[in-house]
């Protein structure tokens, strides 16, 4: 079983649209995982049934029992996150600032502080329109621990793929280079970088590539909207060649992606157009690269 993770560094390069298209091409051979947990969009194209859901608990927040508190202020003294407020001589926690480190609880002389585990989101296992399963999640509003929720989604997707003897797990990652991205690429077999030929897109791709190099992962690149700037496209290709990144394909600027999205469809299910042929070829090339790796 191979785990393929699709990331981009920069947001809005077409990562989710392309991952959803690959999901259609992989059909029942793959389990899909939407790891962009704080702005998950793949469900809008793949139509999950949300059949199975579970709460996700991770991290803690401090809570001061006002009846016990003797107002010594030790908790406020040790907190590095300005999470203890002292108003009118009573101490309480600002939940948004609390990191859940529990230092205050350790120093409270009368055990007036408890650490409460947080429900930070929900994850789902759904049947999707390609007759396979997708594992996806919704992070609670403003919650941290998105990296841990990503790890949970991936773990469930992997288990499911093993149980049902699938060939692939297709993972849609999140933008950036921080903890959710690190979580989504750890343990991957192959990383697909979706980029666009803009100074921002190229810069962000180089940063995320530097990250995947730390994990020593093989990668390939899809240049979306390549005709927006042919010069930068050429620079991206040169960069890929230098860094042994497989060049999977170049897609032209095409508003059909959006038109298909308006109908809740991937571009492959929309009408016949030239993008479809390139995507089918890209999927084939991606599988070839995976085989070469083994």
92 with 112: CB under 8 angstroms?
A: no
Considering only residues 10-29, where is the footprint of another protein by CB under 8 A? 10-13, 16
Q: Is 91 exposed, middle or buried (0-12, 13-18, 19+ CB in 10 A)?
A: buried
Could you give the CA distance from residue 228 to residue 35 in angstroms, rounded to a whole number? 28
Does position 106 interact with another protein (CB under 8 A)? The reply is yes
Does position 69 interact with another protein (CB under 8 A)? The reply is no
The binder of another protein chosen from 72, 116, 179, 247 (CB under 8 A): 179
Dihedral over Cα of 252, 167, 30, 194: its sign? negative
Cα 219–220–222 angle (5° rounding)?
A: 145
Backbone angles phi, psi at 103, to 5 degrees: -60, -40
Residue with smaller CB distance to another protein, 159 or 213? 213
Q: Report how many residues bind another protein under the rule CB under 8 A.
A: 61
Rounded least distance, CB 165 to another protein, Å: 32
The binder of another protein chosen from 69, 115, 116, 237 (CB under 8 A): 115
For 234, residues 6+ apart whose C-beta sits below 8 A from its C-beta are none
Rounded least distance, CB 242 to another protein, Å: 17
The binding site for another protein (CB under 8 A) comprises: 9-13, 16, 38-39, 41, 44, 60, 78, 80-81, 96, 99-103, 106-107, 115, 139, 141-144, 146-147, 174-182, 196-201, 203-204, 207, 210-211, 214, 225, 228-229, 232, 253, 255, 258, 261-262, 264
């Amino acid at each position: 079983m191979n785990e393929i993770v699709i990331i981009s560094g920069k947001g809005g390069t077409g990562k989710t649209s392309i991952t959803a298209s690959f999901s259609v091409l992989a059909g029942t051979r793959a389990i899909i995982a939407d790891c962009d947990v704080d702005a998950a969009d793949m469900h809008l194209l793949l139509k999950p049934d949300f059949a199975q859901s579970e709460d996700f608990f991770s991290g803690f927040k401090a809570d001061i029992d006002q009846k016990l508190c003797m107002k010594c202020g030790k908790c406020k003294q040790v907190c590095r996150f300005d999470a203890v407020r002292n108003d009118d001589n009573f101490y309480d926690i600002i939940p948004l600032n609390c990191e859940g480190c529990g230092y205050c609880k350790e120093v409270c002389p009368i055990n007036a502080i408890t650490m409460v585990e947080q429900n930070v989101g929900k994850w789902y296992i759904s049947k999707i329109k390609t007759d396979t399963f997708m594992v996806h999640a919704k992070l609670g509003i403003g919650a941290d621990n998105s990296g841990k929720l990503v790890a949970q989604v991936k773990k469930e997707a992997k288990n499911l793929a093993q149980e049902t003897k699938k060939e692939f797990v297709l993972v849609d990652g999140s933008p950036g280079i921080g903890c959710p991205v690190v979580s989504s690429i750890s343990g991957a077999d192959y990383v697909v970088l979706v980029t666009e030929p803009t100074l921002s897109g190229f810069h962000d791709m180089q940063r995320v590539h530097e990250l995947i190099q730390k994990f020593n992962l093989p990668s390939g690149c899809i240049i979306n909207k390549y005709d927006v700037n042919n010069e930068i496209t050429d620079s991206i290709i040169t960069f890929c060649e230098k860094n042994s990144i497989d060049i999977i394909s170049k897609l032209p600027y095409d508003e059909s992606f959006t038109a298909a999205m308006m109908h809740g469809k991937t571009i492959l299910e929309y009408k016949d157009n030239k993008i479809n042929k390139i995507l089918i070829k890209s999927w084939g090339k991606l599988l070839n690269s995976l085989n070469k790796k083994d």
